[in-house]
Structure 1
């Protein structure tokens, strides 16, 4: 891929200079933050974490690095080809390489000492960029993962739900079944990206930094994987820091300021990269992350959608047509359970469980209500089977089929498990 670069000259009396650069037909805009009057400065390109980001999200750190004599390029993250359902780490890595090329062309920068800095998702992207070009002199990562994105996301979701005192089937559903379905349905881009081969291929020195209280990235696993995979590494763990190396009490809150020593460590390391590798002790984790396995054919997304549509039609038709009491009960409880599950599933994905209300016995009230409705539907299925055996009508047969299909569906999604 050809990376075209156009760099605008910095204002004569300012420490900041605007730059534009291109990758794949997309023009990206950034700012170089550097100490005024500097020459032969090391350079650092800051690569974004996941989601939408502008250069301003990293300006405070860029200014701190500039005060230590580092020319730092921050840029607005691409929006074209990047969303919740579409992204390519290879494209993001090429964006970072275009930024590296732009920074290397700056008159105040030493082109032989320009590296990349990556936070979170950038911890996958920055090493990938370095693996593709010897123009990258070094790599700095914050909260980087040694595991695949789907595995990391499953671990993070379980942390969020357990923080709300949730346990049992809801947690298993959200952190395993739901993630596997999203991956199987193709709506989780780069879910199985494996960072280890890239880390093993790096010839540049790597400074890897983690907060010991990170609840989004499994930090203990990451430190061990980086230590085993990266040939030339300096790995440091900050005890009272969260994912972004902000100060924290529990990993979830974000106190003012960064972990003491973080900004200074980056500055000293970039100016004088150690000749030998060293690593802090990996921080303890309450539990290990678990690989997200592919769906079995019986779990396929299309089959799940087909069963869902059938349940809605069967229970909806049974509710409209009326009939014997067990049949009406099955139609009502089954339909409420299915529709309620869809609502809860959306709330988990959009609020990480915060919108589910009070928790009783490890279950938020809506989930507890869904489990009770599901038990009622099972009991009503038995009653409907007896009614169908006596009457043998089509309406009862369709409704009974819905009740029978509901049982394995509800077990799969955790509605009939503890």
Structure 2
């Protein structure tokens, strides 16, 4: 059930106060946006989503909350110890708690009514902060996840690729195999963080908000997990709304303005958190998210890199060490093998960097470069068979090395989806 939209009161000039606070030797800077002349105000610390963020990214919401009588602290997210390859939810939670402490010290704030608000990644961090301190009176989450980060990211990647018209092996490779390799290679920090134990430990009111058309967080699963895990909850779904509760047509575009009723709901709920739990029906998902399992021994990232290197050496061996007449199947195996391996490495990087947007037209559910790679892979297998015949006749070391590459290519290509439908 959504509260009816109501116009916020005209903005009285907010009283801004600059604050600094420290966690783990890092000094963070923020601003408290509060109604002027207020006393015994509830307080709200806004915790960032993933990536680099400054306090200005949340100022419009902070000003809206201030107009409803809430002192809101926004701050610049730490850069030390936080990057694509390094982050700690524990450290981010302690940053939020340091902000809570700073806000509770303000004379116009009621220290018993200060809570945290978290968007996306902040939906993992804010509950963790609240679970660590009785000073946090309540929790508000927007687009929070009930599943682990790697599982959420795999679901989001698949959404993006399917939006581009892709299907089949390329989607499975990008959303499962590639994701598991990134996690196993250590380039996806906090991939297996489980939010459920923290949610179950919370003993304070939680307001959870989701957009029905969220394509980054699996919203139906998240709402169900929150409902089952959080003792005192108010869970709401906004139709025609995306991950950040912006208006949208399909979950991918972002129209001006927030979901009608969102800002007002947060303001009224923070002022008077209800004692009785309630939840909207979970929004529909076209498919569930799938857990990302750890790599088995033969899938380890270093082994996969070694196999790719061996394939390149084997396929390049034949033309580099050419002696005597060349066998036609061997020439084809060398050429198609090199093109398939190098081409796959390039496509893999492009998918990671652009979520598939730079792969060109899609034919038969496959982007054109992937379709070409699959045809090349079939050519590699056919050429390997011909090379095996030539090697049997000549028993040449040069052909043997090339053939070994052709044989190794088959399980490698099956693993990465190049020989799959």
Is 1:334 the counterpart of 2:337? The answer is: yes
2:47 counterpart residue number: 47
Residue pairs, 1:6-405, within 5 angstroms: 15-322=15-322, 323-405=326-408
- Aligned-partner Cα distance in 2 for 1:125–1:28: 17
Q: Check the 8 A contact 1:220/1:285 in 2, yes or no.
A: yes
Equivalent residue of 2:147, what SS? coil
Q: Deviations over 1:357-392 (max 9, x none)?
A: 000000000000000111111111011111111111
SS for the counterpart of 2:388 is helix
Equivalent in the alignment of 2:8 = none
* Partner secondary structure for residue 166 of structure 2: coil
- Structure 1: gaps spanning 5 or more residues: 1-12
Contact preservation (8 Å) 1:319, 1:332: no
User: How far apart are the structure 2 equivalents of 1:33 and 1:347?
Assistant: 42
Q: What 5-or-longer segments of structure 2 have no aligned partner?
A: 1-12
Contact 2:215 2:243 in 1 (8 A): yes
CA offsets 1:132-168 (integer angstroms, 9 cap, x no match): 0000000000000000000000100000000001000
The question of whether the paired residues in 2 share the 8 Å contact of 1:245 and 1:259 is answered with yes
TM-score by length of 1: 0.96
CA drift at 1:321: 3.3
Distance verdict in 2 for CA 1:92–1:272, change over 3 Å: same
Contact 2:143 2:211 in 1 (8 A): yes
Contact 2:158 2:174 in 1 (8 A): yes
**C-alpha separation between the residues in 2 aligned to 1:319 and 1:109?**
76
User: C-alpha offsets along residues 44-71 of structure 1, whole Å, 9 cap, x if unaligned?
Assistant: 0000000000000000000000010100
Distance of 1:202 and 1:349 partners within structure 2: 36
In structure 2, C-alpha distance between the alignment counterparts of 1:157 and 1:318, rounded to whole Å: 39
**CA–CA distance in 2 between the matches of 1:39 and 1:391?**
92
d(CA) in 2 for partners of 1:78, 1:319: 52
Shift in Å at residue 14 of structure 1? 6.5
**Greater alpha carbon shift after TM alignment, 43-52 vs 178-187:** 178-187
Shift of 1:316: 1.7
Q: Shift in Å at residue 320 of structure 1? A: 2.6
Report the Cα distance in structure 2 between the residues aligned to 1:134 and 1:32, rounded to whole angstroms.
21
Structure 1: 4+ residue segments shifted above 6 A: none
Q: Indicate conservation of the 8 Å contact 2:22/2:28, yes or no.
A: yes
Separation (CA, whole Å) in 2 of partners of 1:109 and 1:330:
73
Looking at structure 1, the residues matched to 353 and 299 of structure 2 have their Cα atoms a distance apart, in angstroms, of 23
Partner of 1:5: none
For 1:375 and 1:319, the matched residues in 2 are separated by 21
RMSD: 0.9
Shift of 1:184: 1.3
Size of the aligned set, in residue pairs, is 406
Deviations 1:84-126 (A, max 9, x none): 1110000000000000000001111111100000000000000
